[in-house]
Amino acid sequence: MQGYLRSDGRKGIRNVIVVAYLVECAHHVAREISSSFKGQNVHLIGFPGCFPNAYADRIMNALCIHPNVGGALLVSLGCESFNRNRLLENIHASGRPGHLVGIQKQGGTRKAVSDGKEWVANALKEIEKVEKVDMQISDLIVGTVCGGSDATSGITANPAVGRAFDRLVANNGIAIFEETGEMIGLEGIMSKRAVTPELSEELRKSVEKAAKYYTIMGHGSFAPGNADGGLTTIEEKSMGAYCKSGNSPISGLIKPGDVPHKAGLYLMDVVPDGEPRFGFPNISDNAEIVEMIASGSHLILFTTGRGSVVGSAISPVIKICANPETYERMDEDMDINAGKILLNKATLDETGNEIFEKIIEIASGGLSCSEELGHQEFILTYKTFEPIGPSCLPQ
């Protein structure tokens, strides 16, 4: 593998320009700019809110200097509360090209679009000069998410990802799993894998927080599509989701935007802190993907039984299909057919190795199915998080 060397020493497996709108009022202008470069390494991201939010600010700052990002164009209406100047300063401080288009200051839509398109065209040429260096498995951060689960997910795709994660961690890589709302009932089992007693307690608390949050909000992680696919309870779904973590010791607990700096397996707590508030969303596959990318994930392993087609901006998504019938029907969207396990055409270990080799292939420049199809889904909304404590990090 070869990666794009960044000034902070991290290496990216992609070299994209992000066009980031900083309020919904600037979304159209940003989309007009990015869509002019279809098929090129230009990705659209953004935050729709006008009122400031520390979580969204942190995530956007992390994304604009992600190792897969070569430069960033910020698109501002001009009167929103987002701290656009500080974000631009952080981009420049990272050694990346950055530019701010202010729609009101520029004189309206057409002038802003023209300015943005000119800058992106020049930036694409500039980032071609970024140095490429050798990259090892120990340089990789890989996240995993499951979406559109069915009764096959917990016995094929999810445990196969667990096998791939075990191999990644054994090679000094970093693996991140999440969905504390899908660990309800498993907190006792999971906490026993913590590397310290203090971390064990934090893992247990994170699941208890999720259970309280969804009880008060009146929604959770179990969707009608899950039931149609043969799952019966959140506990059943949780057992399947938990399998994605594999069997390695759990090294730490992080929150969105926290970047692990030591090899190992990490749980990401995506449920907001504090009292549950209406206006904060239910968990969403793509929101979780964005949070994992903000924590440094170079790529995402996405398991699905029902058949999800989503991809992501910035970091590639590898689709692992749990159900052989779904794979046969949607093979153009799926990278790995874990459903072979049900048909006795592959073992869990063999499929886990196939996933691991696919990670290397995509990290080496190969395109995932979602990338080839042009998927660049992105969601960023309001949330509130408190900083993690010292018990959450590896010693």
Query: 300-329, pLDDT tens digit by residue?
Result: 999 998 889 999 999 999 999 999 999 999
- Of 72, 101, 133, the last residue of a domain is 133
- Of 133, 156, 181, the last residue of a domain is 133
The reply to whether 111 and 166 lie within a common domain is no
Q: Which residues make Cβ contacts (< 8 Å) with residue 23, sequence separation at least 6?
A: 47, 48, 49, 50, 76, 77, 80, 82
pLDDT mean over 262-266? 97
Mean pLDDT value across the chain: 92
| pLDDT for the residue 91 | 98
The reply to whether 13 and 153 lie within a common domain is no
The reply to whether 108 and 35 lie within a common domain is yes
Q: Assign 234 a pLDDT band (cuts: 50, 70, 90).
A: low
The reply to whether 212 and 355 lie within a common domain is yes
| pLDDT for the residue 132 | 95
> Residue 222: is its pLDDT beyond 60?
no
Q: How many angstroms from the chain centroid is the CA of residue 344?
A: 32
The reply to whether 83 and 106 lie within a common domain is yes
Residue 74: which domain range?
2-133
The reply to whether 121 and 194 lie within a common domain is no
Nearest to 6 by CA among 50, 51, 62, 74: 62
pLDDT mean over 30-45? 97
- Of 133, 152, 184, the last residue of a domain is 133
| pLDDT for the residue 254 | 97
What are the E-state strand segments in the chain?
A: 2-5, 11-12, 16-21, 42-46, 69-76, 98-102, 132-134, 141-146, 174-177, 250-254, 264-268, 299-304, 317-321, 336-337
| pLDDT for the residue 233 | 62
pTM for this one?
0.94
Contact in structure between 199 and 253 (CB atoms under 8 Å): yes
pLDDT > 70 in the chain, percent: 92
Q: Assign 219 a pLDDT band (cuts: 50, 70, 90).
A: low
The reply to whether 192 and 151 lie within a common domain is yes
The reply to whether 306 and 318 lie within a common domain is yes
Q: Which amino acid type is present at position 171?
A: N
- Total domains, the chain: 2
The enclosing domain of 106 has a CATH number of 3.40.50.2300
The reply to whether 179 and 32 lie within a common domain is no
Q: Assign 239 a pLDDT band (cuts: 50, 70, 90).
A: confident
The reply to whether 192 and 260 lie within a common domain is yes
The reply to whether 39 and 9 lie within a common domain is yes
> Residue 299: is its pLDDT beyond 80?
yes
Nearest to 8 by CA among 88, 93, 71, 85: 93
At 331, is the secondary structure helix, strand, or coil? helix
Q: Residue 134 is encoded by which pair of tokens?
A: 């050798």
> Residue 268: is its pLDDT beyond 60?
yes
Give the DSSP letter of residue 391. G
The reply to whether 149 and 273 lie within a common domain is yes
Place of tokens 């794979």: 327
Query: 46-100, pLDDT tens digit by residue?
Result: 999 999 899 999 999 999 999 999 999 999 999 999 999 999 999 999 999 999 9
> Residue 228: is its pLDDT beyond 70?
no
| pLDDT for the residue 151 | 78
On the CB side of 162, how many CA atoms lie within 13 Å of its CA? 20
Q: Assign 207 a pLDDT band (cuts: 50, 70, 90).
A: very high
